[in-house]
Amino acid sequence: MGGAVDLGKIFGVNVRIEVTVLLLAAFIVVGDFGRNGMSGLLDAVTFAILFIFCIYLHEMGHAFAGRLFGARTLDVTLTFFGGYARLVGIPRGWFPNAVISFGGPATNLLIATVLYWYAGTQEVPNDLISRLAFANLFLGVFNLLPGYPLDGGHIAAAVLSNFMPASRARVITGYIGVGVGILLIVLGLQSGMGGMFTMLVGLMLIMAASQEIQMNSRGRF
Ligand SMILES: [Zn+2]
């Protein structure tokens, strides 16, 4: 969806930014603007930039974890829904898959820990740092929910594949993904205009998860 700007190699990994990421930034800024008015505009823009940078670090977490298993990252792309990293040469087996999927959320949880620790050492509380810490905690925890296409869904499918056929594991995490999507839409509906982005993410999850269920239900007798 939309064009992408190629930033070239950063830390050995190609970085691409889809134009739609501006829409994500706009959602964050507009949401903030309504809350804090004009004085909060600069803070909102700063927060949006740092938040999107943390999404980039999340993807680099996957790339770094991939490197531990000799996998190469073709590129990291930032999009409206966050981002994705394309890795090649991931060794077979559930363990590399689970660790590489965990690399992203683990990065956000690490950033949250460092920021909360830093906030604790400050005498005057810094609103930006606390918000960024919470946002990273949220990114880490949300992405660990065991539903496809979230990272936690990949981890759950990898672990479950030890006990059942991989396709059945994927159907299960697919249904959990649909459930998470429905939950997001319900939550979004309850929070008025600000819930629009939540609902869109919910819809995206439901579509991706339904596709995963269909693909893995086929050919079973
Ligand atoms: Zn991820």
DSSP 150: S
Q: Dump pLDDT digits (tens) for 3-39.
A: 888 888 888 899 999 988 988 888 888 877 666 667 7
Is the per-residue pLDDT at 157 higher than 90?
yes
CA of 4 to the centre of ligand 1 (A): 19
Q: What distance in angstroms lies between residue 150's CA and the mean position of ligand 1's atoms?
A: 7
Residue 88 CA to ligand 1 center (angstroms) comes to 15
Report if residue 221 sits inside a domain.
no
**Which of 55-69, 85-99, 117-131 is the least confident region?**
117-131
The pTM score is: 0.91
pLDDT at 2: 55
105 C-alpha to ligand 1 centroid (Å): 6
The residue among 114, 144, 174 that closes a domain is 144
Give the Å distance between the CA of 132 and the centre of ligand 1.
18
Residues 153 and 110 in one domain: no
Q: How confident is the model over 200-219, as a mean pLDDT?
A: 91
| Distance from residue 51's CA to the centre of ligand 1 (Å) | 14
Do 102 and 133 lie in a common domain?
yes
Q: What's the number of domains the chain is made of?
A: 2
Cα of 38 vs centre of ligand 1, distance in Å, is 34
Compute the distance from residue 212 Cα to the ligand 1 centre, in Å: 17
Q: Do 140 and 150 reside in the same domain of the chain? A: no
Same-domain check for residues 134 and 169: no
Looking at the fold, whether 201 and 102 belong to one and the same domain comes out as no
Largest CA distance in the chain: 65
pLDDT at 219 over 70: no
What order of strands is seen across the sheet that includes strand 4-10?
4-10, 13-18, 72-79, 82-88
Last residue of a domain, one of 93, 111, 144: 144
Do 63 and 165 belong to one domain?
no
Residue matched to tokens 């739609």? 20
Percent of the chain whose predicted confidence (pLDDT) is above 90: 70
Q: 58: CA distance to ligand 1 center in Å?
A: 6
At 103-141, the pLDDT tens digits run 999 999 999 999 999 999 988 888 889 999 999 999 999
Same domain, 208 and 109: no
According to DSSP, residue 61 is labeled: H
- Spacing, Cα 65 to ligand 1 middle (Å): 11
Judgement on whether residues 91 and 167 belong to the same structural domain of the protein: no
Note the helical H segments in the chain: 21-36, 41-68, 94-121, 127-143, 151-160, 166-190, 196-217
Range of the domain at 180: 145-216
Ligand 1 mean position, distance from CA 36 (Å):
31
